[in-house]
Amino acid sequence: MMKQYVQYDEELAPFFPKSANVDMLLFSLGEKHCMRTKIEVEGNIISLLELWCQNYNCHFRIDQEQYIYIARDHKLLEAAIALDHSPKAHALSLGRLLGYPECCCQMIESLGEEGIDPFEETYKLQEFTEPFQIINPVRYREGFAYISHVPCSTCCVASYKIARRVKGFLEENQDHSTFDNLFKWTKEFL
Ligand SMILES: [Zn+2]
């Protein structure tokens, strides 16, 4: 098995939103050193997570709003939580911690938190032309995307490099059942 990659266990998946597929894959590939996503805290999820983190040498924390933060480095984990809960503007530094490209972090910073959703909306109308269609983030929430951030433009090269690597990984690891859906989506672009 691909022990070096974090196996996004089938047992864990039901507690996570579909978009966590993408985050987990980016985290596994080292494209992000800290991931943040929502989680349903119920049933035996905490003991499942403890076991899973032990297995992959990761740490996790869940905040009051049921956001989970996962990182291999404990200090990084604490820094991300502190930043995310800080009343000061933190889009730029949090974006960096979550592994977003610098150009995209700068763009998010300039838009402000309220500006991100309307900006992403505009993407639905825009064309991501070859070969940049793989950085289209519009279906991220459904679990179909190769990046977990809003790219600064429809031809962001830094985002493209990440997406290309993720797509390549999926193409080489077609039998990795956890990422089945993402792989099916990959085929649409072949
Ligand atoms: Zn960018």
How far does residue 51's CA lie from ligand 1's centre (Å)?
36
Residue 19 lies inside a defined structural domain of this protein? yes
pLDDT single digits (tens) 129-164: 889 999 999 888 888 899 999 999 999 999 999 999
Identify which has the larger pLDDT, 60 or 183.
60
Give the model's pLDDT for residue 162.
97
pLDDT score of 173 more than 60: yes
CA distance 15 to 25: 16
CA distance 149 to 64: 23
- Does the model's pTM come out above 0.85? yes
Residue 6 lies inside a defined structural domain of this protein? no
Q: Domain of 135?
A: 13-188
Residue 48 lies inside a defined structural domain of this protein? yes
How far does residue 14's CA lie from ligand 1's centre (Å)?
31
Q: Per the structure block, which two tokens stand in for 23?
A: 């985050």
How far does residue 136's CA lie from ligand 1's centre (Å)?
12
Residue 92 lies inside a defined structural domain of this protein? yes
How far does residue 92's CA lie from ligand 1's centre (Å)?
13
Domain count, the chain: 1
How far does residue 180's CA lie from ligand 1's centre (Å)?
27
pLDDT score of 121 more than 90: no
How far does residue 78's CA lie from ligand 1's centre (Å)?
26
Residue 1 lies inside a defined structural domain of this protein? no
Instruction: Give me the chain's average pLDDT, please.
Output: 86
**How far lies 174's CA from each of 3, 22, 99, 171, in Å?**
16, 15, 25, 6
Task: Give the residue among 148, 132, 131, 158 at the shortest CA–CA distance from 182.
Answer: 148
pLDDT single digits (tens) 68-100: 999 999 999 999 999 999 998 888 999 999 999
How far does residue 106's CA lie from ligand 1's centre (Å)?
8
Residue 31 lies inside a defined structural domain of this protein? yes
How far does residue 2's CA lie from ligand 1's centre (Å)?
30
Asked if 133 contacts 189 with a C-beta cutoff of 8 angstroms, the reply is yes
How far does residue 175's CA lie from ligand 1's centre (Å)?
31
Residue 4 lies inside a defined structural domain of this protein? no
Residue 7 lies inside a defined structural domain of this protein? no
pLDDT score of 112 more than 90: no
